Amino acid sequence: MEEKLWKNEFRQIEFEFEGRYATLVFPPDEVRRPNWMLKTEYFGAFPHLETCLLRRGYHLAYLRNVNRIGTDVDTDAKMRFSRYLQETYGLAAKCVPVGMSCGGLQAVNFAGKYPDAVSVLYLDAPVMNFLSWPFGLGDCFVDRGEPQQREVLDALGMTRSELICFRGHPMDKIPTLVENRIPVVMVYGDSDTVVPYPENGYVLEKAYKKTDIPIVIFGKEGCDHHPHGISDPTPIIEFIEKWDI
């Protein structure tokens, strides 16, 4: 186990969990509480929200994935990792998955399979529909090319033809999120050319708006896929702290 400072401010430990790289970042002792975030992909990228929540007492955890596509091999490992953090470091039974882009699809898949392990979902330009990303088969045509398409097909173990009939997209987990009334905070750019919002995040927004389940959405005018986050994450933090119970 190695110990260092994350962002020159927070105590961080790095270790192996089931042969994978794992890390846990601790908040300052004076504000520390059992609440925690699970960064599902791209650890260290666009960390503004995470650093703000760390300063408010949250922990931040990450477990390296086998692939970016949210398959069971990673989803199940996250659940075992969650139990380990609870037993070893006293973290809460429910976490706040922080899912950006492909991390969003992983967060949704995790919540869809283990809803009792999730308090609030934070999604930022989430992939919800593989036919949209990376295949560009919707109205918002964005073909991401053979390497990313092959990445999806290899992870799922199927052909392009089989994907057309596939019913295991992240968006297919929405009924489970609704059934378990998992609050969602979501950020998107209205000019996203990588993961078009109308074919991805909006599918979740539309489903939630038919219910009274808490959801708050922040659209960024003229913003492409990057940067993730918003300049002042205060309203996101307030939403998370309200519903992370």
Stated pTM of the model: 0.95
Q: What is the pLDDT of residues 59-116, one digit of tens each?
A: 999 999 999 999 999 999 999 999 999 999 999 999 999 999 999 999 999 999 999 9
Over residues 218-236, the pLDDT tens digits come to 999 999 999 999 999 999 9
| Distances in whole angstroms, Cα of residue 176 to Cα of each of 75, 93, 95, 164 | 15, 19, 17, 22
Q: Are 199 and 140 in contact (CB under 8 A)?
A: yes
Residue 189 phi, psi (nearest 5): -105, 130
pLDDT at 144: 66
**Alpha-carbon Rg of the chain, whole angstroms?**
17
Q: Both tokens of residue 154?
A: 């290899």
Place of tokens 């699809």: 105
Q: Which two tokens stand for residue 218?
A: 């922040």
Digit-coded pLDDT (tens) for 2-44: 999 998 899 999 999 999 999 999 999 999 999 999 999 999 9
Give percent helix, percent strand, percent coil of the chain, each to the nearest 5. 35, 20, 45
Across the strands, what pairs with 97? 38
* Lateral strand order in the sheet of 10-17: 2-6, 10-17, 20-25, 59-63, 36-39, 96-100, 121-124, 184-189, 215-220
Q: How far apart are CA 108 and CA 115, in angstroms?
A: 10
Distance (Å, rounded) from C-alpha 244 to C-alpha 182?
Answer: 10
Query: What does the chain come to in residues?
Result: 245
Assess whether pLDDT exceeds 70 at residue 142.
no
Output the 3-class SS for 97-116: EEEECHHHHHHHHHHHHCHH
Chain centroid to Cα 103, Å, comes to 4
Q: How far is 170 from 88, CA to CA, in rounded Å? A: 31
pLDDT for residue 145 is more than 80: no
No. of helices (H) and no. of strands (E), the chain:
8, 9
**Beta carbons of 101 and 195 less than 8 angstroms apart:** yes
Amino acid identity, residue 59? H
Question: What's residue 200's pLDDT?
Answer: 97
Q: What angle do CA 53, 188, 133 make, to 5 degrees?
A: 115
Give strand pairing partners of 2.
14
Please tell me the distance from the alpha carbon of residue 52 to that of residue 169, in angstroms, as a whole number.
31
What mean pLDDT comes out for the span 137-166? 86
**Domains in the chain, ordered, with CATH?**
2-129+171-243 (3.40.50.1820)
